[in-house]
Structure 1
Amino acid sequence: MSRERRSDAVANRDRIVEAARAELSRSNGAVDDLKLHLVAKAAGVGQGTLYRHFPTREHLLAEVYRHELTELVDAVAPLLAEHPPLRALTGWLDRLVEYARVKRGVMAAIEASAWQDLYAGQHHRLDEALELLLDRGKAAGEVREEVDAADVILLLGALSRIPGPEWDKRAPTVVTVIVDGLRPSRARPS
């Protein structure tokens, strides 16, 4: 019986996180629009169940962030298995744009100290995933040799400056410019 309750608790937790992710995605990461009673309703659980798993909005948002990050990191291997390295990197960056949409709202809502702990404990995984994509691209001759993950992350910082209403229009363009800049320079005739 206790195993059944534990599996129910895990399923409830997962549904709550998924409902919060869906709501944040629908609202372009607008955390202020995230109504916890509506998340509980969408997840098919009572508010008490939601608060047992996530005592505060920040706890729920931190779990959404961790979940998004895990999915983003886990996407690297399948993308590399299905596509040439630069196409895999482009597909991953497209996913990163969606991740950044949710992360922007989450970052604003989580207290600064809690965010630093969350970031420090998780972000190395993102760096490692990006480095793997870049290394495969370099090995295939599709990515400049001198580029590393820190360079791309600096370029991706431009995403944080895109105002919410312009996100859908400008974020894909920023990714395209970044990918074009990662390509090796063509040899020039002398």
Structure 2
Amino acid sequence: MSDHGSAASSGKRALRSDAQRNRDRLVESAAALFSAEGVDTSLEAIARRAGVGIGTLYRHFPTREALIEVVYRREVEALRDAADELTRMQEPDEALAQWMQRFVDYIAAKRGMGESLKILFESKSPLFAETSGIIPTTLKTLVSRAVEAGKIRADADSVDVLHALSSIYAAAAGPDWRERSRRLVRLLMDGLRYGAER
């Protein structure tokens, strides 16, 4: 009998499935709490929100940085996937506008992981090399489509847009940070639409 068959008959396959669900819940909970509460989020709070014990968290993620690495990768890939979904469902300028609002949520989570991301960077983690081109490439595609459709100004440059978006990372923290950031993104989008062919 194959290993696969042995695993299925012994029930180990179901256990792996449960473990995967626990892992997924931990990653989702961590992303939500890092975004909402920032750097002070405790691993105990993440485990509690995921409905598992702290021992389960440590079995999947032996260090805070191990969890951060998976959450960060998930956030970047979610932005890429959102662009594909929005492009299918929205006009090019609206797809860009909604994607930029989702970028605010990505930045919120990134701010919450800041210190651990710095540790990962200093440890030469391959995470950044593997994910560095995803967001610029995704944004370039969205901007190009909106320009080609005449929905935003012809001289719009995705590099400039990304610089403007990334500036919200350094904005002063506060209870209204997210709303201020969303307002700035709306203003940026208004500027991109100004003078477009329509």
Is TM > 0.5 for Structure 1 vs Structure 2? yes
Unmatched runs of 5 consecutive residues or more in structure 2:
1-10
- The corresponding residue for 1:185 is 195
The RMSD of aligned alpha carbons is: 2.0
TM-score by length of 2: 0.83
Say which of 48, 51, 64 aligns to 1:44.
51
Identity over aligned pairs, percent: 39
Match of 2:111 in 1: 104
The match for 1:21 among 26, 31, 34 is: 31
Structure 1 residue 49 displacement after superposition: 1.6
Q: 1:173: how far off?
A: 2.3
Q: CA deviation at 1:93?
A: 0.4
Change over 3 Å in CA distance of 1:143–1:116 after alignment to 2 = farther
Which residue number corresponds to residue 5 of structure 2?
none
Runs of 4+ aligned structure 1 residues displaced above 4 Å come to none
Contact 2:36 2:109 in 1 (8 A): no
Q: Distance in 1 between matches of 2:124 and 2:29?
A: 22
Partner of 1:5: 15
Tell me by how many angstroms 1:26 deviates: 2.7
Of 74-83 and 92-101, deviating more is: 74-83
Question: Residue 91 of structure 1 corresponds to which residue in structure 2?
Answer: 98
Give the Å deviation of 1:102. Answer: 0.6
In the alignment, structure 1 residue 123 sits paired with structure 2 residue 135: no
Q: 1:186 to 1:70 in 2, by over 3 A?
A: closer
| Residues 136-158 of structure 1: CA deviation (Å, up to 9, x unaligned) | 10111112333332111111132
If the length of structure 1 is used for normalisation, what is the TM-score? 0.87
The correspondence for 2:171, drawn from 130, 142, 162, is 162
Which structure 1 segments of 5+ residues have no match?
none
Of 56-65 and 178-187, the range deviating more from structure 2 = 178-187
Could you say what secondary structure the match of 2:126 adopts? helix
Deviation string 1:107-157 (CA, Å, 9 cap, x unpaired) is 332213247632221131111211111111011111233333211111113
Q: Which residue of 2 aligns with 1:31?
A: 39
Aligned residue-pair number: 184
Larger Rg: 2
1:79 maps to: 86
Matched-pair contact (CA < 8 Å) for 2:154–2:196: no
